[in-house]
Amino acid sequence: MVRLLVSRLLQSLVALWGVTVLIFFVTRASGDPALLLVPPQATDAEVAEVRKDLGLDESYVVQYAKFLEGAVRLDFGDSYRNRRPAMDLVKERMPATLQLAVGAFVFAIVVAVPVGVLSAVRQGGWFDRFGKAVALLGQAMPSFWLGLLLILFFSVRLKWLPTGGRDGWDSYLLPTVTLSSYLIAVLVRLIRSSMLEVLRSEYVKFARLRGLSEYSVVMKHAFKNAAIPIVTVAALLFAAFLTGAVVTETVFSWPGIGRLAVSSILARDFPVVQAIVLLSATIYITTNFLVDLAYLWIDPRIRFS
């Protein structure tokens, strides 16, 4: 098992290195940032001046070496746009994204687990139909549309909640619901189908034959087995939340990573883009690693093989 963990760790480092190469060249392929920083009528000499200033006149090998050397120290250089360390900009936006991500994730789990489980247990009944409707709507409705509908109803019509921004507890409600809707839909569907499969198994039949209560049959014997595929999907979507929810953040003017990423990409602000992408990659890789650990914890067949 230790060997498995060590090999996973090494794989993760290789993957991260791969991401640095990729993001370095992809940003450079997007165009010349200097052209966006000078006035339209600037001369070639002026542009060259700006390029030199940003260190873009050096060869790619040198630029990459500098980028890599800085990245190890979590220093990605200054933002081209506002001349502050890129990492500081990311750090400023992190709490907002983190709060929204955790809130939406917890909300999704709290809603999706009971709905999914009950849909499976009452297969074909009215609750199951309700569960299926939730899953269909959540997956079919784009979050920008759901967000706008919620704003229209709760903020404009009823004037209960603010239309956007991030001040006061009530500003969290609509973005949280909007962001979690897709995850709820995915989880309800997945939990339902996974539970249905497990509920048909022989060990569930045997658990009932032993006289165990229905709660114990469903929540102890069925759910832990059904959880294996659910953990993967839930964790990866959580990672996606952590790396910024562009659409939800834009609709609700939420000061998170997602909006910073988009504006930085449009401005060809390489240091900020590189910082965000590398941070996202680290989050994904860490999440995958934690998912593997969760498997070991849930399923003894993996633990002992």
Residues contributing to the site for other proteins (CB under 8 A):
124, 201-203, 205-213, 216, 220-221, 224-225, 298-301, 304
Q: How far is the CB of 241 from other proteins (least distance, A)?
A: 28
Residue 217 or 239 with smaller CB distance to other proteins: 217
Place of tokens 């709760």: 154
Q: Are 285 and 243 in contact (CB under 8 A)?
A: no
DSSP letter for 201, please.
Answer: S
Residue 183 or 207 with smaller CB distance to other proteins: 207
Q: How far is the CB of 187 from other proteins (least distance, A)?
A: 20
Q: How far is the CB of 62 from other proteins (least distance, A)?
A: 54
Residue 125 or 165 with smaller CB distance to other proteins: 125
Residue 28 or 208 with smaller CB distance to other proteins: 208
DSSP letter for 42, please.
Answer: -
Q: How far is the CB of 293 from other proteins (least distance, A)?
A: 15
Residues 264/265/269/274 CA torsion (nearest 10 deg): 100
User: In 210-268, which residue ranges form alpha helices assigned H by DSSP?
Assistant: 214-215, 223-242, 246-251, 257-266
Q: How far is the CB of 134 from other proteins (least distance, A)?
A: 22
Q: How far is the CB of 118 from other proteins (least distance, A)?
A: 16
Q: Is 17 left (phi over 0), alpha (psi -120 to 50) or beta?
A: alpha
Residue 189 or 221 with smaller CB distance to other proteins: 221
Residue 71 or 207 with smaller CB distance to other proteins: 207
Pair of tokens at residue 163 = 């239309």
Q: Is 6 exposed, middle or buried (0-12, 13-18, 19+ CB in 10 A)?
A: exposed
Q: Which residues contact 169 (CB under 8 A, 6 or more apart)?
A: none
Mind spelling out the 3-state secondary structure of 110-141?
Answer: HHHHHHHHHHHHCCCCHHHHHHHHHHHHHHHC
Q: How far is the CB of 232 from other proteins (least distance, A)?
A: 16
User: In the chain, which residue ranges form alpha helices assigned H by DSSP?
Assistant: 2-29, 33-37, 44-54, 60-72, 86-121, 126-140, 143-150, 170-199, 202-209, 214-215, 223-242, 246-251, 257-266, 270-298, 300-303
Residue 41 or 305 with smaller CB distance to other proteins: 305
Q: How far is the CB of 294 from other proteins (least distance, A)?
A: 12
Residue 39 or 124 with smaller CB distance to other proteins: 124
